[in-house]
Chains A and B, each alone.
Chain A
Amino acid sequence: MPETLAAPVQRRCAQSGKYLTFRLGEEQFAVEILKVREIIGLMTITQVPGAPSAIRGVINLRGKIIPVMSLRSRFKLPEAEAHDRNCIVVTEVESHGETLEMGLLVDMVSEVLFIAENEIEPPPSFGETVDTSYILGMAKTGPDVKILLDIDQVVCEHGPLINQQAD
Chain B
Amino acid sequence: MNSLLDQISSAAFLMMDVDGPDSSDLPELIAELQQIAQAVNSDAATDSHSAAGKAVLCLQQMGTVQTGADFGSVVRNVSRTLTALQAVYGDGRDWSEVAVPDPLLSAEQGETTVASEPSATASPADTPSESPDPELLALFLAEAAEHLESAEAALLQLEADPGDAQSIGAVFRSFHTLKGNAGFIGLPEVLELAHEAETVLDLARDGKLSLDGSAIDVALQCLDVFAEMLSALQQTAQTGQLPARNSRTDGLLVSLQQLARGDSPATTQSAETTPQQTPLADTAAPSVPSSASAERRQTPDRRATAVDAIKVDRTRLDRLINLIGELVIAESMVFANGQQQQTADSRNCSQLRKITRELQELSLSLRMMPINSLFQKMGRLVRDLSRKLGKPTTMIVEGGETDLDKTVLDQVADPLVHLIRNSLDHGIEECRKDRERVGKPAQATITLKAYHQGGNIYIEIQDDGRGLNRDRILQKARDRGLVGMQETPDDAAIDQLIFAPGFSTAAAVTEVSGRGVGMDVVRKNIEAMRGSVSIQSTPGTGTTITLRLPLTLAIIDGMVVRVGEQKYIVPTLSIVEQIRPRPEHLATVIEKGELIAVRGRNLPVYRLQELFGNHGPRRNARDSIVMIVEADKKQAGLLVDEIIGQQQVVIKSLGDLLEGLPGVAGGAVLPDGRVGVILDVPAVLQLAGGRRPAQVA
Q: Which residues in A have some Cβ–Cβ distance to B below 8 Å?
A: 44, 46-51, 55, 57-60, 62-67, 95, 98, 100-102, 155, 160-162, 166
Who on chain B is nearest to A44 by CB? B674
Given contacts A48-B677, A50-B664, 4 further A-B contacts (CB under 8 A): A49-B664, A51-B661, A160-B656, A166-B613
Known A-B contacts A49-B612, A49-B661, A65-B669; the reply to A100 vs B656 at CB < 8 A is yes
Q: Quick check: is B329 within 8 A (CB to CB) of the other chain?
A: yes
List, in ascending order, chain B residues with CB within 8 A of A59's CB.
675
Known A-B contacts A65-B655, A162-B661; the reply to A46 vs B674 at CB < 8 A is yes
Query: Would you give the shortest CB distance from B692 to chain A, in whole angstroms?
Result: 12
Who on chain B is nearest to A66 by CB? B655
List, in ascending order, chain B residues with CB within 8 A of A49's CB.
608, 611-613, 661, 663-664, 677
Known A-B contacts A49-B677, A63-B669; the reply to A100 vs B655 at CB < 8 A is yes
Could you list 29 A-B pairs, sorted by A, with CB under 8 Å? A46-B674, A46-B675, A46-B676, A46-B677, A47-B677, A49-B608, A49-B611, A49-B613, A49-B663, A50-B612, A50-B613, A50-B662, A55-B658, A57-B675, A58-B667, A59-B675, A63-B325, A63-B652, A66-B655, A67-B657, A67-B658, A100-B655, A100-B656, A100-B657, A102-B657, A155-B657, A161-B657, A162-B660, A166-B613
- Which of B330, B566, B655, B675 makes the CB contact (< 8 A) with A101? B655
Q: Quick check: is B318 within 8 A (CB to CB) of the other chain?
A: no
Who on chain B is nearest to A51 by CB? B658
List, in ascending order, chain A residues with CB within 8 A of B674's CB.
44, 46, 60
Q: Quick check: is B383 within 8 A (CB to CB) of the other chain?
A: no
**Cross-chain contact A67 with B325 (CB below 8 angstroms):** no
Q: Which residues in B have some Cβ–Cβ distance to A below 8 Å?
A: 322, 325-326, 329-330, 566-567, 608, 611-613, 652-664, 667, 669, 673-677
Chain B interface, DSSP helix/strand/loop, else mixed: mixed
List, in ascending order, chain A residues with CB within 8 A of B326's CB.
62-63
List, in ascending order, chain B residues with CB within 8 A of A55's CB.
657-658
- Which of A46, A60, A63, A67 makes the CB contact (< 8 A) with B655? A67
Residue of B567, B653, B655, B673 with highest tally of chain A CB at under 10 A: B655
List, in ascending order, chain A residues with CB within 8 A of B612's CB.
49-50
A72→B661 CA distance, assembly (Å): 23
Query: Would you give the shortest CB distance from B247 to chain A, in whole angstroms?
Result: 36
List, in ascending order, chain B residues with CB within 8 A of A98's CB.
656
A44→B664 CA distance, assembly (Å): 19
**Cross-chain contact B673 with A48 (CB below 8 angstroms):** no
Query: Would you give the shortest CB distance from B212 to chain A, in whole angstroms?
Result: 54
A51→B614 CA distance, assembly (Å): 12
Query: Would you give the shortest CB distance from A68 to chain B, in whole angstroms?
Result: 10
A102→B663 CA distance, assembly (Å): 22
